[in-house]
Amino acid sequence: MKIKTFGRHGKEGFKNLTRNSWMSVASISAVTVTLLLVGVFATILLNLNFIGAQIEEDVEVRVFIDLTASEQEQEQLRQEIEDISQISSVEFQSKEEGLNELINSLGNEGEVFESLREENPLNDVFIVQTEEPEDTIEVAETIQGLQTVEKVEYAKETVERLFNVMDIARNVGLAIIAGLLFTAMFLIANTIRITIVARKREIEIMKMVGATNWFIRWPFLIEGVLIGILGAVIPIALVVLGYNFLFTEIQTRFPTLFIDLLPVYPFVLEVSGILLLMGITIGLWGSFTSIRKYLKV
């Protein structure tokens, strides 16, 4: 396409916006509200995934070794655990280290357990982590069946509940975002369709004098892109400013919080790019589907 021709299409696209100013405002508003909701839900969903990944990484299996197991049997057990394909790491914690951890975790009250140092009743423990958090349950059940294993702990109910909640959150979030995008596309398609209906006679004349479908289509596509871009500006600004404020407040007020949010940068840039791309896509799709049937003269 020649630059001159493209410039002509661009001018027509801008004229379409001003020619039907109220309808253009309605379309831009629809995109703005939709993308704002998408931005909010996407921010929540991505941070839930990030937080869930942090929690999942901390999920571990504690293997309590039988008190009667010899050093050779302990080493054999370690080898058997490491041979399990889903295992990423195996760390040994002696009963002395376990007692120190217990005493330190209780603060001043831990002093009452100092007398246990002479006859430590705790077990030596292997702390096991899996390649994938979802493998925790299967790995724990496998280890439980090995010799010289007294018991296995991995917060079964908590782990299962965590995975279920994360799956539900992901599915619900994606469904809501998909629904919002479809609604925006539908609203824009109808708005641009009204613009096209008003110029139906003009389109028919252009077709009769030999104008190609793409020559007629381009101004409407540019109009759709402009609507998408203008509709994305406010959501991008609100998401960037809002997330930056939220992140700063949480870091300031809760510095010892055991979970972190996604860093502001490059997160807000990525979300901004996604919202801008969605706005352009919605506008293009709405324009393209609206004008298609009016080109069949």
48/64 same-domain check: no
15/88 same-domain check: no
CATH number of the domain bearing residue 132: 3.30.70.3040
Counted domains in the chain: 2
pLDDT at 65: 92
277/148 same-domain check: no
- Which range of residues forms the domain containing residue 266? 3-55+161-295
Q: Provide, rounded to the nearest whole percent, the portion of the chain with pLDDT above 70.
A: 79
Give the pair of three-digit tokens for residue 26: 């309605």
pLDDT at 75: 92
pTM over 0.75: no
Average pLDDT on 10-16 reads 66
The phi-psi region of residue 107 (left if phi > 0; otherwise alpha if psi is between -120 and 50; otherwise beta) is: left
Mean pLDDT of the chain: 80
pLDDT at 76: 92
93/132 same-domain check: yes
pLDDT of 7 strictly over 90: no
221/112 same-domain check: no
The last residue of one of the domains, among 97, 121, 154, is 154
177/204 same-domain check: yes
Q: What is the pLDDT of residues 129-183, one digit of tens each?
A: 888 777 888 888 899 989 999 999 876 666 667 677 777 877 887 787 788 777 7
pLDDT of 86 strictly over 90: no
pLDDT at 102: 77
168/212 same-domain check: yes
Greater confidence, 200 or 30? 30
pLDDT band at 235 (very low <50, low <70, confident <90, very high): very high
The last residue of one of the domains, among 132, 154, 176, is 154
**Interstrand relation of 87-93 and 61-65 (parallel, antiparallel or unpaired):** unpaired
186/42 same-domain check: yes
74/193 same-domain check: no
Gyration radius from the chain CA atoms: 31
Spatial distance between the Cα atoms of 280 and 31, rounded to a whole number of angstroms: 10
Give exposure, 258-288, as e/b (b: 16+ Cβ within 10 Å). Answer: eeebbebeebbeebbebbbebbbbbbbbbbe
